[in-house]
Amino acid sequence: MQEVIVGVVGLGNVGLGALQILAENADQIALKLGFRLQVKVVCSRAPENKALPPELGGVMRTRDWRDVVTHPEVDIVAELVGGTGAARGIIDAAIENRKSVVTANKELMALCGAEIWDRAISAGINLAMEASVAGGIPIHAVLREGISGDRITGIYGILNGTCNYILTEIESRAAEFSAVLAEAQRRGYAEADPSADVDGHDARSKLAILAALAFGERITPSDIFTEGIRRISPVDFQYAATLDHTIRLIAAARQTPSGLILSVRPALIPKSTILASVRGAYNAVWVRGRYGEDTFYYGQGAGSRPTGVAVVSDLMRVAREIRNGSPERVSPFAHERLGEYQPIPVTLQNRAFYLRFRVVDRPGIIAALSRILAAKNISLDAVVQLPSESKSNLPFVITTERSSERDVREALGEMSGLDFLVEPPLALPIETAL
């Protein structure tokens, strides 16, 4: 059967990883498909410097992505540039030229995925985006195919490998956040500008895509309450451990009777939960369905080869669809609305909280804090204080019973005027559903 022709824009970590797999694994891919995938043109800002796998033969190299999206023989364009600038132009132009698209771009798909899918469907071309969430974990295929017969009620993910690496290093070595981050940057695990990772924005884009896939709603990053990990310190892991918990950046989408609650935030999770054993740069997604109950997916969340596998598998999926006739498609971002998954603010939820204070020690502190909490009807569960040398920066923790997040935030606001606080209290939800 005639081959399917691929053009690749972006020859960075993911682009070169995908090309290596396409080259080295070409025979097995052809056996699985019944035809060959052939790369004819590749593009980057400086393509002449790239070491391409020799098995690819004499592919055309160009600096201008327009050469790829208008190439008369190209059936599928792989957009592996990233960001929302050039990548948007590449995908739009590919669709205009009736090329199918494979992308790894979480940022763009989280922001404008719905619109891009609508255009792709109108143009009758295929679009695939497996690599955009959780690198090597095939979570799109799971939600779109594997468990699509279920009715999803919750997703809990560890979706940012850099944050998970930093948190587990703080946990295991009792090192401060800034020291672990600097080391991760030196080793190339974290970007020079770490904000997208450590402030939760990367995980937020991924959750927006996953929640859209799972619930069929048009969810954008702005629907997701987002808090990063900059304030987590070794002392928080010590206190969490005394409560039989640990701390992870949890991306969660859960259906409640009043609506869909979406958040990316550090949370206490029980040490006994399987998510607590996800360490280092690994990712994991836990999906809860009404019928199939819990399923769990684990793997490398990034990296040239794991993400390359996701891209190549998408190329194969799309190539099959091209060869077998493109089916009528429904955008993953817009099922017919059931109207039951409307995003609502996190302040409407009731959770147990971990409140960590740093204070200048003096009598009456617990009484002052308890008064403010009691006035908001927040019941204390425990007051925990580990031995500490420092009386001028003394940490201790209060855990609360399940309370309205709005009340907890209002209480924290009132505490901000207390002169014994060295810094604003840290409030983390305690995840009881896992």
Ligand X SMILES: NC(=O)c1ccc[n+]([C@@H]2O[C@H](COP(=O)([O-])OP(=O)(O)OC[C@H]3O[C@@H](n4cnc5c(N)ncnc54)[C@H](OP(=O)(O)O)[C@@H]3O)[C@@H](O)[C@H]2O)c1
Q: Does 126 bind ligand X (CB under 6 A)?
A: no
Q: Which is nearer to ligand X, 43 or 252 (CB)?
A: 43
CB 299 to ligand X: min, Å: 12
Q: What residue number has its CB nearest to ligand X? A: 12
Query: Which CA distances in Å does 163 have to 31, 193, 202, 330, 429?
Result: 39, 14, 10, 34, 17
Residue 236 CB-density burial (10 A; 0-12 exposed, 13-18 middle, 19+ buried): buried
Out of 32, 45, 271, 391, the residue judged to bind ligand X by CB under 6 A? 45
Contact criterion met (CB below 8 Å) for 215 and 341: yes
Q: How many residues bind ligand X (CB under 6 A)?
A: 24
**Cβ distance to ligand X smaller for residue 280 or 303:** 303
Q: Minimal distance in Å, beta carbon 117 to ligand X?
A: 17
Does 86 sit near ligand X (CB under 6 A)?
Answer: yes
**Per the structure block, which two tokens stand in for 50?**
């790239």
Binding ligand X by CB under 6 A: which of 46, 51, 192, 367? Answer: 46
Complex with ligand X: residue 13 or 347, whichever CB lies closer:
13
Angle 420-424-426 (CA atoms, 0-180°, nearest 5)?
120
Among 146, 270, 289, 303, binds ligand X (CB under 6 A): 303
- What is the number of other CB atoms lying within 10 angstroms of the CB of residue 335? 15
Span interacting with ligand X, options 10-18, 139-147, 240-248, 418-426, rule CB under 6 A:
10-18
Length in residues, the chain = 434
| Residues 105, 160: Cα–Cα separation, whole Å | 15
* Residue 210 · residue 155 · CB < 8 Å: yes
Report in angstroms how near the CB of residue 302 gets to ligand X at its nearest: 3
**Minimal distance, residue 340 CB to ligand X, in Å:** 31
Q: Give the shortest CB-6-to-ligand X separation in angstroms.
A: 16
Q: Tell me the HSE value of 433 on the side-chain side, using a 13 A CA sphere.
A: 20
Binding string, 15-44, against ligand X, x = CB under 6 A?
Answer: x---------------------------xx
Q: How far is the CB of 25 from ligand X (least distance, A)?
A: 19
State which of residues 180, 302, 316, 373 lies at the interface with ligand X (CB under 6 A): 302
If the CB atoms of residues 12 and 270 are measured against ligand X, the closer one turns out to be: 12
Sole binder of ligand X in the list 5, 9, 76, 355 (CB under 6 A): 9
Q: Is 206 a catalytic residue?
A: yes
CB nearer ligand X, residue 139 or residue 229: 139
Q: In angstroms, give the least distance from the CB of 7 to ligand X.
A: 12
CA distance 2 to 57: 18
CB 255 within 8 Å of CB 340? yes
From candidates 12, 270, 289, 299, binder to ligand X by CB under 6 A: 12
Q: Strand locations in 331-420, DSSP E? A: 343-344, 350-359, 380-384, 394-400, 403-404
Least CB distance to ligand X at residue 153 (A): 27
Count helices and strands in the chain by DSSP H and E runs: 14, 18
Q: With binding defined as CB under 6 A, does residue 307 bind ligand X?
A: yes
40, 206, 376, 391: which one is catalytic?
Answer: 206
Distance of CA 368 to CAs 46, 206, 333, 373, 414, Å? 63, 41, 48, 9, 11
Q: What angle do CA 210, 274, 110 make, to 5 degrees?
A: 15
DSSP state of 273: S
**Binding residue for ligand X (CB under 6 A) from 20, 38, 100, 105?**
105
CB 382 within 8 A of CB 399: yes
Quick check: 194 binds ligand X (CB under 6 A)?
no
What are the residue ranges of helices labelled H in 41-105? 66-69, 86-96
Which of 74, 131, 203, 253 binds ligand X (CB under 6 A)? It is 131
Q: How far apart are CA 382 and CA 397, in angstroms?
A: 8
Nearest one of 315, 399, 392 to 353, comparing CA atoms: 399
Q: Which stretch binds ligand X (CB under 6 A): 102-110, 145-153, 193-201, 331-339?
A: 102-110
Binders in 134-163 for ligand X, by CB under 6 A: 135
**Residue 129 in the binding site for ligand X (CB under 6 A):** no
Classify residue 178 by burial, with Cβ atoms within 10 Å: 0-12, 13-18, 19+: exposed
Stretch 344-363: interaction string toward ligand X, x if CB under 6 A: --------------------
State the residues that interact with ligand X by CB under 6 A: 9-15, 43-46, 65, 80-82, 86, 104-106, 131, 135, 302-303, 307
Active site residues: 206
